[in-house]
Amino acid sequence: MARLKTGTRLKSAVCNTQVMVVAAPDADVDCSCGGHPMIDAAATAPEGLSISPEAAKGTMLGKRYVDADGKLELLCIKAGAGSLAAGGVALVLKEAKPLPSSD
Amino acid sequence: MNLMMLLEMAVSGFGERVAVRSGTEQLTYQQLFDAAGAAAAELEASRCENAALLDVNSLAVPIGLFASAWAGRPFVPLNYRLADAEIEALAARIAPSFLVAAPERADALAELPGTTVVARETFLRRVLGAPGREPSWPMDADAIAILLFTSGTTGAPKAAVIRHKHLVSYIFGSVEFGAAGEDEAALVSVPPYHIAGMAAITSSIYAGRRIVQLPGFSAEAWIETARRERITHAFVVPTMLGRIVDALAAQSDTGLPHLRALSYGGGKMPLPVIERAMELWPSTDFTNAYGLTETSSTIAVLGPEDHRAAAASDDPAIRRRLTSVGRPLPSVEVEIRGPAGGRLGPDRHGEVCVRGEQVSGEYLGTKSTLDREGWFPTRDGGFVDADGYLFLDGRIDDVIVRGGENMSPGEIEDVLLEHEAVADCAVVGIPDEQWGEAVAAAIVLGPGRYATVEDLQQWVRDRLRSSRTPQRIEFRDELPYNETGKLLRRRVKAELSGEIP
């Protein structure tokens, strides 16, 4: 469990997924990917773990994933085979609300 | 956070697509990434602290920007309109630096102290086609990504600081990754030393939209390139749009069939210009983007639907939205504050203040201008209407104080521009013994149009309070603008005050 800060990068312990925290609740959150806790992007993944079959839907590059109340938002900066969850509840893909191109 | 994240994502998402085209040369995202890595190695080897560029748009601009991010050095695009002596003064402030220079400038600047000067072609030859490097950039979000010297229209140039966190937040907050179709191409004609030039590169790369560079702006070159390269998106400053519209009106074919979206900003858009552009290209989506260097580009947009609704409406409150800069981005907060700092409600005029992750509000060597809650006072005057649309009055420092009454030049200029004979105008305050300041106007008449000083004074008097009627009016062939469309108001003021002939 940890307090997340926007701009923090996390990576999956079991696949290539990397995310950046875009929004975080003011509370402790445990993010997981592929069924295992995510780790700091610079850390080394523990060995011997594998993706849990119930968390293997994969992540998509450049997509945003949010929790039910929208307080936690993760941006996928590297895609992988595991799927994201917070507190054991799967995160869902956030619908893009396109802004007009301004530059 | 590092700008390189944006390019790295683009490489994994669509590395073989064309990222940028300049003339007949082009780079895919993968090639741009590899060139940035090679250029970063040059920067590291030179032991520079800053990576500067003195040149028009070319492949060296995106390569230089990303190489700087890779090497952990600020990227400093300099204004190529400045003379060698002015460049020397700026170079002294960023030494030791690595400077990529336009071929015709490189020799004259070769002896700059603490500066490694490399001509653009030499630089490109060294870094293009180099083998790829392993990613190895620093991830310090607080590191400086870009230093942009302000145009110095109000004194010595200040270096605005834009950190990686500001620009990356701006992109994440306003652009959807990979959203551009393969056929989309953005024409970049704003110079690299303008924040819009930097934002155009980062936005397009994250969206996957091919960048087509125009080295120097002329309306004819812009139109020709837009047609030849099947340009779908472009950003222009108001003076550019005015010239494009004039140049097209003189042609038999006024169409730009591929242009889906045209955004504009960087200065006040004259209503007649945008109205004519909307008539010329009815199927093009127009977006007015308001932003400042200190806010990492756009903070508010008036989108295509707003443009069409305003143009079609008879309701003055909706119609006037064509002169608004729209509503804040979802990731940005805007409020209007009064002189004492209190927040003002709808329709009340005050200072535009802005807060958000993309807001820097910082200059090199000075304290942050953000307040304790993170609000940046833009020094732009304006108001927000009941529906949340932001309207700008102009720079607060340009407000005319006549006998204790504050008046914004923009309000008087808008009225003058409604006169059929007036093509352009600038209203400024000039010293006055009786009132402190008096209202003065420089007027450019349209071709074949005629009006007297008395006609125009009466025109304003009939529409605004008499105190707002220009006491002095002079006619000009044209007004002084800098090349990014900013009216040089101080010069008009000096001329009308009789300080310079």
Interface of B with A in 12-51 (CB under 8 A): 12-13
Q: Considering only CB atoms, which chain B residues are within 8 Å of A77?
A: 5, 8-9
Whether A61 and B177 lie within 8 Å, measured CB to CB:
yes
Six-digit token pair at B409? 């030049």
Task: For residue B272, give the amino acid letter.
Answer: P
| Exposed / middle / buried, residue B146 (Cβ in 10 Å: 0-12, 13-18, 19+) | buried
Residues B48-95 have pLDDT tens digits of: 999 999 999 999 999 999 999 999 999 999 999 898 988 999 999 999
pLDDT confidence of residue B7: 97
Whole-Å CA distances, B214 to B59, B65, B99, B235, B302: 11, 17, 21, 12, 25
Calculate the average pLDDT of chain B.
94
Provide the number of CB pairs (under 8 Å) joining chain A to chain B.
76
CA B304, CA B284: separation in Å to the nearest integer?
8
pLDDT confidence of residue B249: 87
Disruptive mutation site among B169, B177, B264, B484 for chain A (greatest number of A CBs within 10 Å): B177
- Is the model's pLDDT at A95 over the cut of 90? no
Task: Tell which phi-psi region holds residue B328, choosing left (phi > 0), alpha (psi between -120 and 50) or beta.
Answer: beta
Contact B196/A at CB under 8 A = yes
Mean pLDDT over B450-475 rounds to 94
Whether B174 and A96 lie within 8 Å, measured CB to CB:
no
Whether B172 and A22 lie within 8 Å, measured CB to CB:
yes
Whether A100 and B357 lie within 8 Å, measured CB to CB:
no
Q: Considering only CB atoms, which chain A residues are within 8 Å of B298?
A: 102-103
- Is the model's pLDDT at B501 over the cut of 80? no
Phi, psi dihedrals of residue B62, rounded to the nearest 5°: -65, -35
Whether B13 and A61 lie within 8 Å, measured CB to CB:
yes
Closest CA to B432 of B404, B457, B412: B404
Cβ(B356)–Cβ(B299) under 8 Å? yes
Cβ(B118)–Cβ(B101) under 8 Å? yes
Q: Specify the length of chain B in residues.
A: 501
pLDDT confidence of residue B271: 86
Transcribe B199-255 into DSSP letters. Answer: HHHHHHHHHTPEEEE-SS--HHHHHHHHHHTT--EEEE-HHHHHHHHHHHHTSS---
Most confident of B27-31, B238-242, B417-421: B27-31
Q: Give residue B450's pLDDT band: very low, low, confident or very high (50, 70, 90).
A: very high
Q: Which residues contact B498 (CB under 8 A, 6 or more apart)?
A: none
Residues B246-286 have pLDDT tens digits of: 999 888 888 899 999 999 998 888 888 899 999 999 999 99
Disruptive mutation site among A8, A19, A74, A101 for chain B (greatest number of B CBs within 10 Å): A101
Q: Give residue B300's pLDDT band: very low, low, confident or very high (50, 70, 90).
A: very high
Whether A100 and B304 lie within 8 Å, measured CB to CB:
yes
Cβ(A39)–Cβ(A13) under 8 Å? yes
CA B354, CA B333: separation in Å to the nearest integer?
6
Q: Which segments within chain A are labelled E, that is strand?
A: 2-3, 9-11, 18-23, 28-29, 31-33, 36-37, 39-40, 64-66, 73-78, 84-86, 89-90, 92-93
Mean pLDDT over B149-158 rounds to 76
Closest CB to B298: pick one of A7, A75, A102. A102
Buried b (16+ CB within 10 A) or exposed e, A6-38: bbbbbbbbbbebbbbbbbbeeeebebbbbbbeb
Mean pLDDT over B424-442 rounds to 93
Six-digit token pair at B76? 């400093």
Six-digit token pair at B195? 């924040």
| Helices B453-463 & B409-417 angle (0-180, nearest 10) | 110
pLDDT confidence of residue A100: 87
| Residue in the structure block whose two tokens are 């619908």 | A95
- Is the model's pLDDT at A1 over the cut of 80? no
Whether A62 and B261 lie within 8 Å, measured CB to CB:
no
Whether A62 and B265 lie within 8 Å, measured CB to CB:
no
Whether B176 and A96 lie within 8 Å, measured CB to CB:
yes
Whether B235 and A103 lie within 8 Å, measured CB to CB:
yes
Q: Give residue B153's pLDDT band: very low, low, confident or very high (50, 70, 90).
A: low
- Is the model's pLDDT at B154 over the cut of 80? no
The helix (run of H) or strand (run of E) holding residue B57 is none
Q: What is the interface pTM, i.e. ipTM, of the complex?
A: 0.91
Cβ(B334)–Cβ(B354) under 8 Å? yes
The helix (run of H) or strand (run of E) holding residue B165 is helix B164-174
Q: How many CB atoms lie within 10 A of CB B312?
A: 9
CA A42, CA A36: separation in Å to the nearest integer?
17
Residues A54-93 have pLDDT tens digits of: 999 999 999 999 999 889 999 999 999 999 999 999 999 9
CA B280, CA B241: separation in Å to the nearest integer?
12
Reduced to 3 states, what is the DSSP secondary structure of residue B7? Answer: helix
Q: Considering only CB atoms, which chain B residues are within 8 Å of A22?
A: 172
CA B282, CA B259: separation in Å to the nearest integer?
11
Q: Considering only CB atoms, which chain A residues are within 8 Å of B5?
A: 20, 77
Q: Considering only CB atoms, which chain A residues are within 8 Å of B141?
A: 7
Closest CA to A35 of A12, A20, A47, A51: A51
Mean pLDDT over B362-383 rounds to 93
Q: What is the CATH number of domain B399-496?
A: 3.30.300.30
Nearest CA in chain B to A74: B172
CATH of B1-158, one of 3.30.70.890, 3.10.129.10, 3.40.50.980, 3.40.50.300: 3.40.50.980
- Is the model's pLDDT at B332 over the cut of 90? yes
Task: For residue B157, give the amino acid letter.
Answer: P
In DSSP terms, which residues pair with B426 in a beta bridge? B442
CATH 3.40.309.10 assigned to domain B329-395? The reply is no
Reduced to 3 states, what is the DSSP secondary structure of residue B334? Answer: strand
pLDDT confidence of residue B155: 67
Contact B119/A at CB under 8 A = no
pLDDT confidence of residue B270: 84
Largest CA distance in chain A: 47
CA A41, CA A19: separation in Å to the nearest integer?
9
- Is the model's pLDDT at B321 over the cut of 90? yes
CA B37, CA B136: separation in Å to the nearest integer?
9
Mean pLDDT over B233-237 rounds to 96
Whether B179 and A98 lie within 8 Å, measured CB to CB:
yes
Cα distance from B353 to chain A (closest Cα, Å)?
20
